[in-house]
Structure 1
Amino acid sequence: MRISQIAGFFLLFCFFANITPAVAQDTWSLKRCVDYAMENSITVKQQEVQKRLAELTLQQSRLSMIPSFNGNVNAWYSDGRIASISDNAYINQSVFNASGQLNMNGDLFNWFSKQNLIAANRYDVASNGFLLQKARNDLAFNVATAFLQILLKNEQVKVNEVQVKQTLSNLDNTRKLVIAGSVPESNQADLEAQLAQDSTNLVTAKNDVILAILQMKAYLNMGFDIPFVPEIPDNISSLPITPLAEMAPEMVYSAALTSYPLVKSDELRIKGAYRSYRSAVGQLFPSLALTGGLSTSYANNFYGMDGKLIPFNKQLDNTFGKNIGLSLKIPLFNGYQQRTAVSKAKVNVYNMELTRDLDNQKLRQDIYTAHANAVAALQKYNASATGVMAAQKAYDFATKRFNIGLMNTIDYITTQTRLFKAQIDKVSAQYDYIFKMKLLEFYRDQRISL
């Protein structure tokens, strides 16, 4: 069996293996992919957990404003020489004692330390809300990028399939010419080798589609054994893209400052850090609290004047006591722990400001880089489109010359390869330009659409 026959059978096998599963499978649009990812992404779930933890911290700080009530019950048994409750004389006896207390403690004034802590935790919840939004936006963009990669790899498969078909057609025509004695058999061998190379390129291109789909499934947190068929648009050129002239980097950056979740999160973290600092300052001053309590006890060696054991209920009544008072806590010296806490809280405010400035700087740099890449991608696409037209024209002339024996096989294959490379470059450049523009749109609006 000749190489051309092997390649032909292999091509047919790949073709049917590629289309058969799609018949029985539904397709995945970008919207469906994004919605599925939002429901199943581990990264998003982790950020949801962080937001929930912040909410619980806020809830606890609010509940700390309520006075605390604590009760305790104690019971103990002793045996030996023990002082009698009645006359305080030591005698050998076995005694069971029980007591109970209920205590209350509530802050009256603490220089707004708790109020500032509540405010700091409230800002932290809001900040985590924006971080959750950022996680969702980033996931949507990553899914869209993976979707574009799948579309690109599918387009490259189509180009490779056309290349194989062209080589098969040329090989079939050359085989006839060899039989007729018009061209040497080496021409046929050269085309058979080219067909083998083209078939290998096709297999590689199809494998690239599989790898791109696996990346998509990772973003979706989908089982790798579950079928996935993307919904491929009829014409990628019809995708809505904002003109590059309307995407000046400084304009995009200004818009991003009002919509980028990380920017909003950083501002809230600064406010929260400042409130934490004020809360720590409040701990340096005296605090006033209201205290109160109830208590009672029972003992099995508590006898009355008549020598009889006083009943349980009567003992509880007789020993029942209550108290109420004010507690003034004055911090004097504790190893400068609180002053250190205040200093650290103040430094943390400055650190949060530096983090904001660094994030804003990186955002601006990323936007300017994305814009420069978009300009280069557009220029590359225009150049590749011109290259395809020139390569196609050269290939058409070469085909006519080759068919009448005026061009050798090596030169013809070289011309064909140049056309193939130009087509691949154009497809890649087109998708690269779309990706770069979608990235700019994402920075500007925090939305992604195809």
Structure 2
Amino acid sequence: MKKILTTTFILLLASPALFSQEKWDLKKCVAYALENNIDIKQSRIQEKLSELTYKQSKDGRWPTLSFSTGFGEQFGRSIDPTTNQFTTNAISQASAGLQSGVTLFNFFSIKNNIDANRINLSAAEKQTEKLQNDIALNVAAAYLQALLTNEQANIAQVQLSQTSEQLNMTRKRVDAGDLPELNAVMLESQLATDSSNFLVTKSQYELNLLSLKALLNLPAEYPFAIATPNISEIPVVPIAELNPNDVYGSAANINPLLKVSQLKLEAAKKNTLVARGQMYPSLSAFGNLNSGYSSALKNYYTGTTSTVFLPSALYVDNNGTRLPVYSPSITYSEIQKASLPRQFNNNFQQSIGLSLSVPIFNGNQLRTNWNRAKQNERSMQLQTQADSLSLKQSIHQAYQNVISALQTKNSREKAVIAAQRSYDLGRKRYEIGMLPTLDLTVLQGNLQRAKIDAVTADFDYVFKLKVLEFYKENSIKL
């Protein structure tokens, strides 16, 4: 039994050296999480989508321009599109055109839509900022939890070492006949308990590291170890600077959650104006350029005619000479070949105009959209109020948590001092044979629990200070 416990103890002490590696401090953990966390990457994609929507709505102010063309074959009885005559011949036809249009006035629906999309983009950016802050706070919590279990493991390791020393000392006295065998057996049992406690805390530490890896989006098998600074070295804002009313006054101006709600409310107001503007007439301008070709048109008349003059049966006397009288009898129209370029030139059409669209009745859809937008605006007003109240309540609750944690921290520090004094006195009495082994193990267990409780209170106090600090400065000091 003694050999097994001694071997286990040596391996436990040697294990940190066997697996030493690069240490990650809190600053590195937070920076890595902000760069690689999947939720943040998804939020940035939503930002990009909002940006594209905003850019597209801005570009919608400009005139549209499109080009269309087509080529086809007609069979059977049909109408030649260039002559509007019926034909039964197969016809090859082609067309081309440019179309353009622009909205001149629609009661500012386009402008308000652009404003709404711009505000939604800002809200998406603030949403990403909020998520980054939440991730940073979660990483800090997981990091501090890992530090806590590491400190608890260190305490358990010291306890294990002390018990081992006591067992060695007691074994020598038992062998010398100064103490009964029962004393050594009781310490061996205590050593086994201390070994189990140490293994449990080390296992919990590894589990906490796995949780931290998950927040950092690191593979579970990735070699990972955190730096273990003293709890007093972690920077915190003094509690005197964290009055809840002052914290709320600062948070109300910079807290991303409130900013998101306020921006969404502004966007909802703009969308209400958009829906209202769509119920009124809109004025647009348009222009078109078109032309076409048909294979049925082989030739076409140019519009120019030539007249042939032929002699008639009438004559006139010109100093004894009879001269025939010519009269126009045949008129010829000039004809040219109808090639594709010539047809496109001759069939060229242009048009411009204004278009007025007046919504009269469409199943009350536009008015319903306006009423729906107004209700959404009202909902966002209530959401903004709810977020403000929730933030104030969270800050006051966080402040009370800090006060409670500070009181617990102070009381447990005093408990450690008392437990340490009791253990020191008890050990001296044990060494001279005036204290039973059982009483010593009780004192030792009390000291260990007091130390674990104290270090737990220290980390709990620091973390709750970090939460209050987060509300005030919208960031965490690393």
TM-score using structure 1 length: 0.95
1:355 aligned residue = 383
CA offset digits 1:357-383 (Å, max 9, x no partner): 111122112111111111111111111
2:305 aligned residue = none
Stretch of structure 1 that moved more, 411-420 or 176-185: 176-185
Q: 1:267 aligns with which of 254, 262, 270?
A: 262
How many Å apart are 1:104 and its aligned residue? 0.9
2:130 aligned residue = 134
CA offset digits 1:66-104 (Å, max 9, x no partner): 111122222221222345678766553111112122211
Q: Are the structure 2 counterparts of residues 46 and 305 from structure 1 closer, same or farther at C-alpha, using a change threshold of 3 Å?
A: closer
Identical counterparts, % of pairs = 38
Q: Distance in 2 between matches of 1:212 and 1:318?
A: 82
1:243 aligned residue = 238
Q: Are the structure 2 counterparts of residues 395 and 84 from structure 1 closer, same or farther at C-alpha, using a change threshold of 3 Å?
A: closer
2:400 aligned residue = 372
Matches for 1:292-441 after TM superposition, within 5 Å: 292-305=287-300, 310-441=338-469
Q: Are the structure 2 counterparts of residues 362 and 84 from structure 1 closer, same or farther at C-alpha, using a change threshold of 3 Å?
A: closer
How many Å apart are 1:110 and its aligned residue? 0.6
Q: Are the structure 2 counterparts of residues 173 and 85 from structure 1 closer, same or farther at C-alpha, using a change threshold of 3 Å?
A: closer
Q: Which runs of 5+ in 2 are unaligned?
A: 302-334
How many Å apart are 1:60 and its aligned residue? 0.6
Q: Are the structure 2 counterparts of residues 88 and 179 from structure 1 closer, same or farther at C-alpha, using a change threshold of 3 Å?
A: closer
How many Å apart are 1:143 and its aligned residue? 1.7
Runs of 4+ in 1 over 4 A off after TM superposition: 83-91, 305-309
Q: Please tell me whether the aligned partners of residues 300 and 309 of structure 1 are also in contact (alpha carbons under 8 angstroms).
A: no
CA offset digits 1:47-78 (Å, max 9, x no partner): 11111111000001001101111222222212
Q: Please tell me whether the aligned partners of residues 85 and 301 of structure 1 are also in contact (alpha carbons under 8 angstroms).
A: no
Matches for 1:30-69 after TM superposition, within 5 Å: 30-69=26-65
Q: Given residue 47 of structure 1, which amino acid in structure 2 is its aligned partner?
A: S
Q: Are the structure 2 counterparts of residues 251 and 295 from structure 1 closer, same or farther at C-alpha, using a change threshold of 3 Å?
A: same
Q: Are the structure 2 counterparts of residues 312 and 205 from structure 1 closer, same or farther at C-alpha, using a change threshold of 3 Å?
A: same
CA offset digits 1:141-182 (Å, max 9, x no partner): 222222212221221111011100111011111111211222
Q: Which has the higher helix share?
A: 1
Tell me whether 1:70 sits opposite 2:66 in the alignment: yes
Q: Given residue 440 of structure 2, which amino acid in structure 1 is its aligned partner?
A: Y
Q: Are the structure 2 counterparts of residues 240 and 84 from structure 1 closer, same or farther at C-alpha, using a change threshold of 3 Å?
A: closer
Q: Are the structure 2 counterparts of residues 385 and 79 from structure 1 closer, same or farther at C-alpha, using a change threshold of 3 Å?
A: same
Could you say which structure has the larger radius of gyration? 2
Q: Please tell me whether the aligned partners of residues 236 and 477 of structure 2 are also in contact (alpha carbons under 8 angstroms).
A: no
1:6 aligned residue = 4
Q: Given residue 468 of structure 2, which amino acid in structure 1 is its aligned partner?
A: L
Q: Given residue 416 of structure 2, which amino acid in structure 1 is its aligned partner?
A: V
Q: Distance in 1 between matches of 2:82 and 2:33?
A: 77
Q: Distance in 1 between matches of 2:80 and 2:365?
A: 48
1:284 aligned residue = 279
Q: Are the structure 2 counterparts of residues 88 and 439 from structure 1 closer, same or farther at C-alpha, using a change threshold of 3 Å?
A: closer
3-state DSSP of counterpart to 2:76: strand
Q: Given residue 317 of structure 1, which amino acid in structure 2 is its aligned partner?
A: N
Matches for 1:189-228 after TM superposition, within 5 Å: 189-228=185-224
Q: Please tell me whether the aligned partners of residues 301 and 309 of structure 1 are also in contact (alpha carbons under 8 angstroms).
A: no
Q: Distance in 2 between matches of 1:298 and 1:83?
A: 13
CA offset digits 1:219-265 (Å, max 9, x no partner): 211222222222222x3224333332332222211111112111112
Q: Distance in 2 between matches of 1:165 and 1:18?
A: 16
Q: Distance in 2 between matches of 1:342 and 1:365?
A: 35
3-state DSSP of counterpart to 1:80: coil
Stretch of structure 1 that moved more, 258-267 or 429-438: 258-267
Q: Distance in 1 between matches of 2:394 and 2:82?
A: 86
How many Å apart are 1:123 and its aligned residue? 0.6
3-state DSSP of counterpart to 1:223: coil
Q: Please tell me whether the aligned partners of residues 85 and 302 of structure 1 are also in contact (alpha carbons under 8 angstroms).
A: no
Q: Please tell me whether the aligned partners of residues 287 and 351 of structure 2 are also in contact (alpha carbons under 8 angstroms).
A: yes
How many Å apart are 1:108 and its aligned residue? 0.5
Q: Please tell me whether the aligned partners of residues 300 and 338 of structure 2 are also in contact (alpha carbons under 8 angstroms).
A: no
Q: Given residue 21 of structure 1, which amino acid in structure 2 is its aligned partner?
A: F
Q: Please tell me whether the aligned partners of residues 124 and 269 of structure 1 are also in contact (alpha carbons under 8 angstroms).
A: yes
1:108 aligned residue = 104
Tell me whether 1:81 sits opposite 2:77 in the alignment: yes
Q: Which runs of 5+ in 1 are unaligned?
A: none
Q: Which has the higher strand share?
A: 2
TM-score using structure 2 length: 0.89
How many Å apart are 1:10 and its aligned residue? 1.1
Q: Please tell me whether the aligned partners of residues 252 and 444 of structure 1 are also in contact (alpha carbons under 8 angstroms).
A: yes
Cα-Cα RMSD = 1.7
